[in-house]
Amino acid sequence: MDTPWRTLIDVAALHTRLDSGMPTVLLDCGFDLASPGAGEAAWSRGHLPGALYVHLDRDLSGPKGEPGVGFSGRHPLPAREALAATAGRLGIAPGVQVVAYDAHGGPYAARAWWLLRWLGHDAVAVLDGGLPAWTAAGHALDSQASVAIAMAQAPYPLLAPAMPTIDAATLRSRLGAVRLLDARAAERFRGDVEPLDPVAGHIPGATLRWFKDNLLGDGRFKPAAQLRAEFDALASPPHTVVHQCGSGVTACHNLLAMAYAGLEGSTLYPGSWSEWCADPSRPVARG
């Protein structure tokens, strides 16, 4: 029986899996917030054999609204029906193992992981170390344009959301009662700089947990026991923890790290800082 990988998979295990022909959907999630076409261009130059490209804006987010009342952030969640259709188009059906990766330490792959888990798909993992770990192990890349047409399935069955979320109004009402972790870099958290959103700072009561602090120097995740100790010191138990970042993307990296450490059950605030700061009535903290 094919035991599903649910958090991380290492290069050796993935290579063995692919070499043996075990059904696997590979998703290349490479992206650059400053250059939205860069990830797809990099995929076309070289990707894991058979990997399909998924774009953060087109495939892993819903339509972006205009800033103002009702604005839900720079990368709102896709409608569940749209995500189910995307999953089917990519050949993802219940029980099919999915492995997502990127070349940037895993934030975009973690977004794909979280979305598929939210959809109800259990057999999804992130490649530990991503594309750099694959090439460092001596494995080749492919520049052929992989297509999903032959693998396409019907839309994924719509199930109840399997990962909890919280909206801005509910979060505001619970400030001080939840343990809020912010995955952005320290200078953005403090409000020293803000390259992407109109207001600098953070949500009052948030604690900084930069997503890159989940990683070793080579881009792989820290051991599960180490991550567990670090998150236990920051925010515990998991069901009291809410994750956010700039737009609900890198926060998924912290959710993945906690799940890998055996700390499942925490919540994502999808709109994150980009939604929060768009309403001037919401409080802002700096420093």
Alpha helices in the chain (DSSP H): 11-19, 38-45, 80-89, 107-119, 130-136, 168-174, 186-190, 224-234, 251-260, 272-276
DSSP structural state of residue 157:
P
Q: Using CA atoms, how far apart are residues 286 and 58, in angstroms rounded to an integer?
A: 33
Q: Using CA atoms, how far apart are residues 248 and 107, in angstroms rounded to an integer?
A: 10
Tokens of 206: 């948030």
Beta bridge partners of 243: 181, 268
Q: Using CA atoms, how far apart are residues 163 and 151, in angstroms rounded to an integer?
A: 26
Q: 29, 245, 252, 277: which is the annotated catalytic residue?
A: 245
Does residue 277 carry a catalytic annotation?
no
Q: Using CA atoms, how far apart are residues 168 and 217, in angstroms rounded to an integer?
A: 35
CA distances from 167 to 94, 208, 234, 287 (A): 28, 20, 22, 25
CA distances from 93 to 98, 114, 130, 253 (A): 10, 16, 23, 24
Residue numbers annotated as active site? 245
